[in-house]
């Protein structure tokens, strides 16, 4: 069984980093004005977190508090309210919605965070920087869109204390540089 377990681990590792990795997918039906609203939905959890996994564990038992929708991810607030919450510190956020990729091709993303963040796009892991840290900007994160469409976007984020930042930029296929992902690219299911 030891041998079998080892083989499984190798296959799993190859699947995460190699061509066997699952393909991120857009939703089958485009959002409409009756079913969806602009921006991203967010649920807040008010607790002290040091790691994204602590937020994940907390979410299993604690009730969420729905917050006002997030229009775009352009938060560099210093010592101020975290995202659309009413708190400066000790905030966890579960952010969900759809991200519109207008064309197939090679995108890249750039995330600036303070504190921890984990992002899934199209149902697959995109990026994480899961611990407490000062403002940190990621290296370019490649994302190959097999088709145009609205891709499920899920973000776990927390701010422990003092300053907070969460910024999402992209470089669409053919673009020269990174720019803020605009409000028009986000929708979420009405709640």
Which residue lies nearer to Ca ion by CB, 15 or 134?
134
Four-point Cα dihedral 170, 185, 128, 160, nearest 10: 110
CB neighbourhood size of 122 (10 A): 22
CB of 171: closest distance to Ca ion in angstroms?
Answer: 26
**Interaction of residue 129 with Ca ion, rule CB under 5 A:** no
Residue 107 to residue 178: CA distance in whole angstroms: 10
Dihedral sign for Cα 151, 154, 20, 143, please. positive
Angle subtended at Cα 162 by Cα 158 and Cα 164, rounded to the nearest 5 degrees = 45
Which residue lies nearer to Ca ion by CB, 114 or 138?
114
Which residue lies nearer to Ca ion by CB, 42 or 98?
42
CB of 24: closest distance to Ca ion in angstroms?
Answer: 29
Q: How many residues bind Ca ion (CB under 5 A)?
A: 3
| Span between the terminal Cα atoms of the chain, in Å | 48
CB of 79: closest distance to Ca ion in angstroms?
Answer: 9
CB neighbourhood size of 121 (10 A): 21
Which residue lies nearer to Ca ion by CB, 75 or 150?
75
Which residue lies nearer to Ca ion by CB, 112 or 114?
114
Residue 125 to residue 131: CA distance in whole angstroms: 17
CB neighbourhood size of 138 (10 A): 18
Instruction: Give the contact letters, 23-42, x = binds to Ca ion (CB under 5 A), - = no.
Output: --------------------
**Interaction of residue 115 with Ca ion, rule CB under 5 A:** yes
Instruction: Give the contact letters, 156-185, x = binds to Ca ion (CB under 5 A), - = no.
Output: ------x-----------------------
**Interaction of residue 120 with Ca ion, rule CB under 5 A:** no
Interface contacts to Ca ion, rule CB under 5 A: 114-115, 162
């Amino acid at each position: 069984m030891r041998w079998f377990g080892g083989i499984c681990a190798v296959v799993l590792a190859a699947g995460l980093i190699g061509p066997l990795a699952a393909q991120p997918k857009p939703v089958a039906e485009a959002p409409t004005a009756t079913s969806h609203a602009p921006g991203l939905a967010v649920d807040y959890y008010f607790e002290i977190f040091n790691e994204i996994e602590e937020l994940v564990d907390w979410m299993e038992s604690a009730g969420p508090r729905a917050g006002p929708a997030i229009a775009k991810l352009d938060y560099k607030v210093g010592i101020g309210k975290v995202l659309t919450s009413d708190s400066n510190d000790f905030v966890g956020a579960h952010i969900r919605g759809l991200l519109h990729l207008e064309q197939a091709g090679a995108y890249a993303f750039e995330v600036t965070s303070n504190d921890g963040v984990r992002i899934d796009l199209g149902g697959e892991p995109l990026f994480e920087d899961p611990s407490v840290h000062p403002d940190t900007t990621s290296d370019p994160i490649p994302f190959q869109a097999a088709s145009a469409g609205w891709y499920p976007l899920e973000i776990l984020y927390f701010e422990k204390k003092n300053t907070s930042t969460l910024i999402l930029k992209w470089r669409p296929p053919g673009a020269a540089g990174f720019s803020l992902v605009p409000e028009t690219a986000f929708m979420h299911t009405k709640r």
